[in-house]
Amino acid sequence: MKTTIEKLPGDTEGVSYELTVFRFKGSSRKTPTAYIQAALHAGELPGVVAIHALMPKLRAAEAEGRILGDITIVPAANPVGRAQYHFGEVQGRFHLGTRTNFNRDFPLLDRPDASALPPATLAATVDIRLKRRLVELSVGHDIVLDLHCDDESVPYLYVPSVLWPAMQDCAAAMGVDAVILWEGASGAAFEEAAIHPWLRLPREKAGLDRRVVTTVEYRGLADVYDNYAKSDAEGIYRLLATRGVIADEKAAKPRKFTGIAAPIANVELISMPRAGAILFHVEPGQRVRKGARLATIVHTPGAEDGAIDIHAPQAGYILTRVVHRSGRAGDDIVKLIGEAPSAKAKQGALED
């Protein structure tokens, strides 16, 4: 294994960041290669600890000569966001200097080759330079995993619809409960940047059945536990074995995906009609009927009519809910996977 610590100059004098990159060299040029990163949204740590738990398994495979395809790992992909603290809370989703989501505005290449990247410019802000480097590290790999988490949720994947159902084996290997299939634009999120160059090739050359590109949502922000880290690491390892990056017949044993797979159009974003305190009546992973009470918003405490209920617009599956217990009018607080397209359906990214 080769370890590189890259320096990323900041936007002001005397400021720089470090990006750690691990590389495992495969023994075969014919097998798939993999790129894995975590914490692009810097406060989302379940993927970071999953990678930490994965590394001993990869080192053991390397020592035994079982790594067939190249593997590149960036365990903490956003040192810029990790350094952004405001009143004791990490602000790792948006770059404070440009107000841009760290998972938007990645360069979209016309071919899976780092030479297609636009030239780096000295005037580019650090978040733009970071995104350019992450694309440079990941482009051309057959498997690209971007590890995130939601607020409170079951483990689930975002998958380009063009890669489904060929990626069912990966969803099964990783042990996720749900898959959201998307298409179109997503604001040039990292996942879109990873699949985009392959879609520019003729289908016979793109080898889409060989590709794995996904945003992995590892439950919620607070789900940073040893048992989850180990099980998530085992899931990633199984995926690598299943797709032939690592030689391990036991881990590569076929599994069947039994979770939910639905188009992004079926996701209902349940919002607050009034500002106030949130009393949830459902949890992620729960199935509900149309009209089921999802939450109560206490908008005028103590008043006889001081609360209002929110109901399910259709039958479905509770995917996520927010971690906080207060909000503003219009805030989305629940994602529900419906049995039919939402009346407010949207493609691409669900949230900013």
Give the pLDDT score at 349. Answer: 80
Of 258, 288, 303, the position where a domain reaches its end is 258
Q: Tell me which residues of the chain have a pLDDT lower than 70.
A: 348
Who's near 250: CB < 8 A, 6+ residues apart? none
Q: Are residues 187 and 316 in the same domain?
A: no
Who's near 334: CB < 8 A, 6+ residues apart? 268, 269, 270, 280, 282, 294, 295, 310, 318, 320, 321, 322
- Eight-class DSSP state of 120: P
Give the strand pairing for 34-38 and 71-74: parallel
Give the pLDDT score at 5. Answer: 98
Q: Are residues 251 and 275 in the same domain?
A: no
Q: Are residues 24 and 156 in the same domain?
A: yes
Domain span at residue 293?
A: 265-338
Give the pLDDT score at 176. Answer: 98
Kindly report the CATH number assigned to the domain that includes residue 134. 3.40.630.10
208: tokens are 């889409």
Please indicate, yes or no, if residue 205 is contained in any of the structural domains. Answer: yes
Phi-psi region of 105 (alpha: psi -120 to 50; beta: other; left: phi over 0): left
Give the pLDDT score at 221. Answer: 98
Gap between the Cα atoms of 135 and 141, Å rounded: 10
Please indicate, yes or no, if residue 224 is contained in any of the structural domains. Answer: yes
Give the pLDDT score at 2. Answer: 98
Of 237, 258, 279, the position where a domain reaches its end is 258
Closest to 130 in 3D by CA, of 195, 40, 193, 47: 40
319: tokens are 């995917």
Q: Are residues 160 and 121 in the same domain?
A: yes
Please indicate, yes or no, if residue 128 is contained in any of the structural domains. Answer: yes
Give the strand pairing for 260-263 and 178-182: parallel
Give the pLDDT score at 346. Answer: 73
Q: Are residues 49 and 157 in the same domain?
A: yes
Backbone angles phi, psi at 245, to 5 degrees: -70, -35
Closest to 181 in 3D by CA, of 103, 257, 260, 235: 260
Kindly report the CATH number assigned to the domain that includes residue 313. 2.40.50.100
Give the pLDDT score at 339. Answer: 95
Give the pLDDT score at 102. Answer: 98
Gap between the Cα atoms of 282 and 347, Å rounded: 26
Gap between the Cα atoms of 272 and 339, Å rounded: 22
Q: Are residues 93 and 161 in the same domain?
A: yes
Gap between the Cα atoms of 246 and 77, Å rounded: 23
Q: Are residues 87 and 154 in the same domain?
A: yes
Please indicate, yes or no, if residue 344 is contained in any of the structural domains. Answer: no
Gap between the Cα atoms of 207 and 177, Å rounded: 27
Please indicate, yes or no, if residue 352 is contained in any of the structural domains. Answer: no
Please indicate, yes or no, if residue 117 is contained in any of the structural domains. Answer: yes
Give the pLDDT score at 275. Answer: 98
Closest to 52 in 3D by CA, of 178, 229, 213: 229
Gap between the Cα atoms of 240 and 221, Å rounded: 25
Q: Are residues 315 and 196 in the same domain?
A: no
Q: Are residues 244 and 289 in the same domain?
A: no
Q: Are residues 332 and 236 in the same domain?
A: no
Give the pLDDT score at 350. Answer: 84
Give the pLDDT score at 352. Answer: 82
Question: What global pTM score does this model have?
Answer: 0.97
Please indicate, yes or no, if residue 351 is contained in any of the structural domains. Answer: no
Instruction: Quote the radius of gyration of the chain (alpha carbons, Å).
Output: 21
Give the strand pairing for 156-160 and 178-182: parallel
**What is the identity of the amino acid at 113?**
D
Identify the residue whose tokens are 């060299």. 25
Q: Provide the number of structural domains found in the chain.
A: 2
Q: Are residues 176 and 297 in the same domain?
A: no
Backbone angles phi, psi at 220, to 5 degrees: -115, 175
**Could you tell me if 111 and 56 are in contact, meaning their C-beta atoms sit under 8 angstroms apart?**
no
Of 258, 274, 290, the position where a domain reaches its end is 258
Please indicate, yes or no, if residue 318 is contained in any of the structural domains. Answer: yes
**Could you tell me if 119 and 188 are in contact, meaning their C-beta atoms sit under 8 angstroms apart?**
no
Q: Are residues 81 and 170 in the same domain?
A: yes
